[in-house]
Amino acid sequence: AKHMKEEDKLYRYNGLLYPTIMCSPENLKELETFEAREDDIMLAAYPKCGFNWMIGVLHKIVAAATGRSNENPNNHPKFPPMLEFLDPAKQKTLAAAPSPRVVGTHVPPQNFPKSFFEKKTKILVVFRNPKDTAVSFFHFTNGNPVLPTAESWDKFFSDFISGEVPWGSYFDHALAWEEHMDNPNVMVVTYEYLKENLSEAVQQIASFFNCSLSEEQIQTITQESTFKAMKENSKNSHGPMSNVFFRKGEVGDWKNQFSDAQSQEMDAKFEQFLAGTKLGAQLQY
């Protein structure tokens, strides 16, 4: 990736930008026909909304509820990664994996494999206020060699606003999930809620997926899933990328990055797309 030209690091598939190295067109094509199961434990999140946090929590919940060993105890991003990171052969091997499978994606719901909605698979969706999401994304694109380095914060901000970033527009994702807010198989949590109420959230997520946990198991998972605990653990698995994936873990870091004009521009965009929506109400910041 280090030797790749910046402009080659992203390409377009079905109208959205994707990282060339991680998400080949073959992967995305194969994903269209991925066979979901009714009992899959599916996580969907726009980039930087808390995917790595929640995929870790879901693996811990499944391990605790089923008694099987944690498939990804170190929460390594490559295993089991997002579906679109798997090449076609690896996607096929998931057909033989025991239930429940923990799977995830950054792809928006209109581009999901159809089988997830046909099978009524339960889907956990994590969202985060757009200002912190943009700041987190800016640091991530600069720290991750497979993604292009932003020319400047101002340039990244305008790309984020116009949706010219990997996996597309935050606002289009949000509007697409808004359509599913009354779907009983979709549970939406926000990063901000998770920060304030982690143990309640662990309990609610476990019961959404019909995983029954003791109070002690919930507390253990909660303690292992704080930012501090996950950052410490990530040194084992992410090596030099640890600080890129587990950067600050705070609510409100946007205040250190946004100009007043940018804050107003984001507020106007939020108003235009999400005012009066159910998801928008959860994302107030």
Binding interface with ligand A3P (CB under 6 A): 45, 47-53, 132, 136, 139, 225-227, 230, 246-249, 253
Radius of gyration of the chain (CA): 18
Say which amino acid occupies 260: D
Do 137 and 160 form a contact (C-beta atoms < 8 A)?
Answer: yes
Which CB sits closer to ligand A3P, 136 or 190? 136
Q: Catalytic residue numbers? A: 106
Which CB sits closer to ligand A3P, 24 or 52? 52
Question: Strand, helix or coil at 16?
Answer: strand
CA distance 224 to 76: 15
CB of 240 to ligand A3P, least distance (A): 16
Which CB sits closer to ligand A3P, 55 or 186? 55
CB of 46 to ligand A3P, least distance (A): 8
Which CB sits closer to ligand A3P, 56 or 100? 56
Contacts made by residues 37-40, CB under 8 angstroms, sequence distance 24+: 37/99, 37/100, 37/101, 37/119, 37/121, 38/119, 38/120, 38/121, 39/99, 39/100, 39/121, 40/99, 40/100, 40/101, 40/102, 40/103, 40/116, 40/119, 40/121, 40/122
Which CB sits closer to ligand A3P, 246 or 273? 246
Question: Strand, helix or coil at 44?
Answer: strand
Could you tell me how far CA 116 lies from the centroid of its own chain? 17
- Residue length of the chain: 285
Which CB sits closer to ligand A3P, 112 or 246? 246
Phi, psi of 219 (to 5 degrees): -65, -40
CA distance 19 to 105: 14
CB of 197 to ligand A3P, least distance (A): 12
Helix then strand then coil, in percent of the chain rounded to 5, is: 50, 10, 40
